[in-house]
Amino acid sequence: MINLIDFLAVALLGIGTGAIINWLADDLPFSNVIKRPHYPDGLPRPPRAWVGLIAFLTGGRVSPSGAKLSLRHPFTEVIIAILFVYTVFQNGFTPQSLYLMGCVAFLGLITVMDLEHRMILVLVIVAASIFALVGAAAAHPWERVTFQDHLLGGILGFVVFGILYLGGFIFSAVMANMRGEALEEVALGYGDVLLAMLSGFILGWQALIFAVTIAVFLGGAGALVFMAMRLVIRGRYEWFTALPYGQYIVLGTLIMMLWRAPVIAFLQRGG
């Protein structure tokens, strides 16, 4: 159990990490140069508005020209804080907790950029992969999972999703040719392949299998919801619309990171 002071410290660490994620997500998709935290119109934010929650609570959400920070800023900070607190609550102040919180931070940054910009940056994947492998070697986050298991997990994730990527590319190209259209996007992007590799490095190959299974089911459910919403709002759905898949890989990874043992037991029983 953690006491109130520890709880507040970890929560503040999570909020600060979420603010850094927001800061990086505002600039990395467009430039390798990270600027001072700014509003959507490019005007710099005052220090009191560098953290989204504080900006919203103190009237710093809007720039002098009227540009508003999106709800993504406080939402990201709160979610990261909750995940950090839960991690420490379950594992205490241990190397495993530090490893998991670092992975949560990287996955949070990847998710924000993927949802907002449909972009998974190689630079972020490389940095996250190095952290995952070095952290796995140092922290040994799970019993009976060796460093070789983590390494094999990354290779397995890359190979499996690489095959799916090539298959999706061929399918999309054939369908685009049949409809006489230019191929603009594919169902599964190369960034998703790299994200699956990262998931394997984080989890190890055994848990990766379960994470992929979860991602597939969540992706199917998400596609059904998307189709239903399109039908309700527009009255029609365009077949073969490419949907972002990265967030489902992230969710599957997070679930296996934080609830590994109960999920494996549940799935092995067949639900």
DSSP result, 6-49: HHHHHHHHHHHHHHHHHHHHHHTTT-SSPPSPB-TTSPBPPGGG
Q: Which DSSP symbol is given to 62?
A: B
CA 177 – CA 199 distance, rounded (Å): 34
Q: Which DSSP symbol is given to 188?
A: S
- CB-based burial label for 110 (10 Å; 0-12, 13-18, 19+): buried
Angle, vertex CA 269, rays to CA 267 and CA 271, nearest 5: 60
Structure-token pair, residue 80: 């990261």
Structure-token pair, residue 201: 């490095």
- Tokens 């490893």 — which residue? 99
Q: Which DSSP symbol is given to 246?
A: H
Report helix, strand or coil for 238: coil
What string of pLDDT tens digits covers the 271 residues of the chain?
678 898 999 999 999 999 999 999 999 998 888 899 999 999 999 999 999 999 999 999 999 999 999 999 999 999 999 999 999 999 999 999 999 999 999 999 999 999 998 889 999 999 999 999 999 999 888 888 999 999 999 999 999 999 988 887 676 666 656 666 665 666 678 899 999 999 999 999 999 999 999 998 998 787 777 667 666 666 555 555 556 678 999 999 999 999 998 888 887 776 5
Ranges of each domain in the chain: 1-93, 121-271
